[in-house]
Amino acid sequence: MSGQFLLRPPESAPENHLRVRLALDGAADGRELRFVDQRMFGALSISGGGAELPPEIAHIARDPLDPEFDDDEFVAKVRRRSSGIKRQLLDQGLISGVGNIYADEALWRARLHGERAGEKLTAAQVRELLGHARDVMNEALGQGGTSFDALYVNVNGESGYFDRSLHAYGREGEPCDRCGTPMRRAAFMNRSSYFCPVCQPVPRRRRPPVPRAVAAD
């Protein structure tokens, strides 16, 4: 959610909100890895025995850039669920690493509204969305990520610039890069979702059946 991992010489002054300092074996210049987090969302746990997959994180799904990510399993799970597709993209037990910003970007590229139920999507639509999520994440990595302020930097303290390539996130009121319609913002899980109302139409809600009157005998 927040925080930074920074590579620093051990003699450098501690940063504000420094939480953890890790010495790196074999570092030529003696640099250490520091975890800095002013919001205190982060945590540190140690798994004994050199576990390949520590039990503390075993519940977290693979991210879509992992070579062992199972596309078929992901598609099947999404299509069995009635929850909205954006909620599923942020479910760390189903897929990890996407996050709110890149979910909005992938959904915009796929022309899907985040409230579309997974069970209403075809397998082809889910696969296309997964491909867009991978493209967005790879492009963001190539540009150093998305930095909106000084808190979001890489290990060398450098800001990313993928925010200049965003088509959806944070663009409320700006014209859609595809059709020109003003982009909209909607509240979502204590965050925000950004979408084009034309390219990504809001799904229709099913109305409950109206009970019919039964004549008395």
Task: Tell me the residue length of the chain.
Answer: 217
Q: Given CA atoms 174, 179, 180, 181 in this order, what sign does their dihedral have? A: negative
Instruction: Please tell me the total count of domains within the chain.
Output: 2
Question: Is 49 among the domain residues?
Answer: no
Answer yes or no: do 115 and 36 share one domain. Answer: no
- Domain span at residue 21 reads 1-40
Q: Does residue 29 fall inside a structural domain? A: yes
Judge whether 16 lies within some domain: yes
Do 80 and 157 lie in a common domain? yes
33 lies in the same domain as 75: no
Residue 162 to residue 148: CA distance in whole angstroms? 10
Q: What's the pLDDT score for residue 5?
A: 86
Whether pLDDT at 147 is above 70:
no
Residue reference for tokens 């899980």: 189
Of 123, 143, 163, the residue that ends a domain is 163
Whether residues 142 and 88 fall in one domain? yes
The domain spanning residue 88 has which CATH number?
Answer: 1.10.8.50
Model confidence at 14: pLDDT above 60: yes
In a domain, 172, yes or no: no
84 and 34, same structural domain?
no
**Is the pTM above the cut of 0.95?**
no
Same domain (yes/no): 26, 83: no
Phi and psi at residue 185, to the nearest 5°: -120, 140
Residues 77, 158 share a domain: yes
Please give the residue that has the higher pLDDT: either 29 or 24.
24
Bridge partners (DSSP) listed for residue 106: none
Q: CA-CA distance, 79 to 58, in Å (whole number)?
A: 23
25 and 89 both lie in a single domain? no
* Residue 18 three-state SS: strand
Do 95 and 153 have their domain in common?
yes
Residue 144 clears pLDDT 90, i.e. is over it: no
CA-wise closest residue to 61 among 133, 3, 153: 133
Do 132 and 77 share a structural domain? Answer: yes
pLDDT at 45: 80
Asked whether residue 170 is assigned to any structural domain, the reply reads no
Residues 19 and 94 in one domain: no
**Structural domain includes residue 110:** yes
For 110-140, write each residue's pLDDT tens digit. Answer: 999 999 999 999 999 999 999 999 999 988 8
Decide if 36 is inside a domain: yes
Nearest CA to 95 out of 146, 137, 47 is that of 137
Shared domain for 127 and 87, answered yes or no, is yes
Whole-angstrom Cα distance, residue 54 to residue 197? 43
Residue 98 lies in a domain: yes
